[in-house]
Amino acid sequence: MVRPRLGQHFLADPNLLDAIVRESGVGAEDVVLEVGGGEGALTERLAAMVRRVHVIELDRRLGPRLEAAASAAGNVDVVCGDAMRIDLRGLDPAPGKVVSNLPYSIATPLILKTIEELPGVSSWTLLVQREIAERLRAAPGSRTYGAPSVLVQLATEVELLRTVDRGVFTPRPRVDSALIALRRRGPAAPEPVRRLVHDAFAHRRKSLARSLELAAPGGREAARSALREAGLPEDARAEALAPEEFVRLAGRLQAR
């Protein structure tokens, strides 16, 4: 039985499962991380193509099925637990690619966690809600542009590969989905940049300087000066800044 509260929507279309593996470009020497193994349909396909698969599954009722698939494949490690609480840096051998039909409930924070904790990952091929796909690839100034957009785009290039019909899932979700590819282009944003981005978007209707003052009282003038020194308008809002401009602004703030 599927547990909707866990964000479970199992992929029932074998053609799409094959397409995910194909789009991922995995090969015989790859070590892959899959989060949300479900009933093992994607796991089995990945195991047939790669050196090692680490699959994480929260729902312990699915453990025996995944363990059976792992035993048959011989190159699958099953980790039962919450992917958001597991130290992904402890996976051995370290994954170089992430390929998953991500549980809806953790998709965005899990992507950010893998970017930060798994610096050796070069690519992600992920099935996510279409809304999340649009948010991650959003441009500055758009309605969906926010902290996840900035942090993901600082470390990766985001590509929408295809939209996915609701009918290929069991149970049928209430939202549309999309297959996306992320390709590593740099390290995760350092902590000062992450903190700045989160503080800046905490109050979208306010200027960035005012948002930063609300996060750290008394900092409005310092923020306005840093914006000016970074060549940005003093009354700029967070959604107007490109990802690289947040890095520049963080450097100015640290130098003060």
pLDDT in tens, 155-197: 999 999 999 988 788 777 778 899 999 999 999 999 999 999 9
pLDDT bin (cut points 50, 70, 90) of residue 47 is very high
Look at residue 241 in the predicted model and tell me its pLDDT.
97
- DSSP assignment of 158-194, as one string? EEEEEEE-GGGEESPPSS-EEEEEEEE-SPPPPHHHH
Look at residue 3 in the predicted model and tell me its pLDDT.
47
Whether residue 227 sits in one domain with residue 116? no
Read off the pLDDT of each residue in 103-111 and give the average, rounded to a whole number. 93
Whether residue 239 sits in one domain with residue 136? no
Whether residue 172 sits in one domain with residue 201? no
Whether residue 84 sits in one domain with residue 102? yes
Q: Is the distance from CB of 20 to CB of 179 less than 8 angstroms?
A: yes
CATH number, domain containing residue 78: 3.40.50.150
Look at residue 188 in the predicted model and tell me its pLDDT.
98
What is the number of structural domains in the chain?
A: 2
Closest CA to 124 of 157, 102, 98, 163: 98
Which H helix or E strand runs over 100? Answer: strand 97-101
Q: What pLDDT digit, counting tens, does each position of 109-145 carry?
A: 999 999 999 999 999 999 999 999 999 999 999 999 9
Whether residue 196 sits in one domain with residue 76? no
Domain boundary among 126, 157, 184: 184
Whether residue 245 sits in one domain with residue 134? no
CA distance 173 to 188: 31
- Alpha-helical (H) ranges within 25-106 are 41-47, 63-73
Q: Which residue reads 């090969």 in tokens? A: 27
What radius of gyration do the chain's Cα atoms show? 20
Residues in the chain: 256
Look at residue 8 in the predicted model and tell me its pLDDT.
55
Structure tokens at 47: 């195991």
Whether residue 170 sits in one domain with residue 150? yes
Whether residue 213 sits in one domain with residue 132? no
Whether residue 168 sits in one domain with residue 198? no
Higher pLDDT, 60 or 10: 60
Which H helix or E strand runs over 251? Answer: helix 243-254
Cis bond upstream, residue 171 (ω within 30): yes
In this prediction the pTM is 0.92
Structural domain of 173 = 4-184
Domain boundary among 184, 207, 225: 184
Whether residue 140 sits in one domain with residue 14? yes
Domain boundary among 154, 184, 214: 184
CA distance 39 to 194: 35
Residue 233 phi, psi (nearest 5): -60, 140
Whether residue 195 sits in one domain with residue 180? no
Look at residue 150 in the predicted model and tell me its pLDDT.
98
**Mean per-residue pLDDT of the chain:** 92
Whether residue 195 sits in one domain with residue 79? no
Look at residue 69 in the predicted model and tell me its pLDDT.
87
Closest CA to 138 of 176, 108, 117: 108
